[in-house]
Amino acid sequence: MMKEITLSPALSGELGAIYTAMELEYDVVAGQINLTCSGCPDNCCDSYFLHYTYSEWAYLWEGMRTLDHATRDRIIARSTQYIEKSRSILKRRERPRLMCPLNDDGLCSLYSHRLMICRLHGIPAAMTRPDGQTLKFPGCFRCQEIIQKKYAQEADVPFMDRTAMLSKIAALESELLGGRRHLFPKVRRTIAEMIVDGPPLIDKPFCQR
């Protein structure tokens, strides 16, 4: 029998605290660069992002359940269209640029439950993988334009180190899945796919505090 993966109040609160810490650090780096979204001609909500954890998937559905039925149905319908269009674009070996189905007249319908990359996109960042390899992210186009004008050397550019926070999410994910994360199918989904497929289900037992 399939069992829904849900976050306990403790794990939901822990994930929320991690997100809050991310936002605070984001604001520090954005302030140093003098980056704001005000007046930007672009919209990050049309970026093609994939998400990789059951914990964020469950957190998204925690938010979906706070919506009234009409709003939820409207978002599911938009998500279905998003999936169809994105798959058609991907078949052409192009990267989709489609508005997120949660975007409603420029505002996120689940702002308090938006996922990690939605909170971090924009500023320069780096992370060190378990194998020791460091990955760098240059930030959005507006950020890169500011950096080119403001900093003579790359070493002078402020950036956010995501490593510790991603490690915390990995630990939370492991606890959510009862310490058997390696036995579960990998998550690699857009927000639209997480919405259309419903909350995460699994046919293996798991436990959480």
Task: Tell me what pLDDT residue 208 has.
Answer: 52
Produce one character per residue of 175-199: b if its CB has 16 or more CB atoms within 10 Å, e if not.
bbbeeebeebeebebbbbbbbbeeb
Structural domain contains residue 209: no
Task: Tell me what pLDDT residue 89 has.
Answer: 97
Number of domains in the chain: 1
Q: Which amino acid is at 148?
A: Q
Structural domain contains residue 18: yes
Q: What residues in the chain have per-residue pLDDT under 70?
A: 204-209
Task: Tell me what pLDDT residue 204 has.
Answer: 57
Task: Tell me what pLDDT residue 39 has.
Answer: 78
Structural domain contains residue 201: no
Structural domain contains residue 33: yes
Task: Tell me what pLDDT residue 209 has.
Answer: 46
Q: What are the tens digits of pLDDT across the range 40-74?
A: 777 789 999 999 999 999 999 999 999 999 999 99
Structural domain contains residue 207: no
Torsion on CA atoms 64, 69, 72, 78, rounded to nearest 10: 170
Q: Which amino acid is at 33?
A: I
Q: What are phi and psi of 23, to 5 degrees?
A: -65, -40
Structural domain contains residue 58: yes
Structural domain contains residue 51: yes
Q: Which domain holds residue 100?
A: 3-37+44-196
Task: Tell me what pLDDT residue 6 has.
Answer: 95
| Helix, strand, coil content of the chain in percent (nearest 5) | 50, 10, 40
Structural domain contains residue 106: yes
Q: What are phi and psi of 178, to 5 degrees?
A: 65, 30
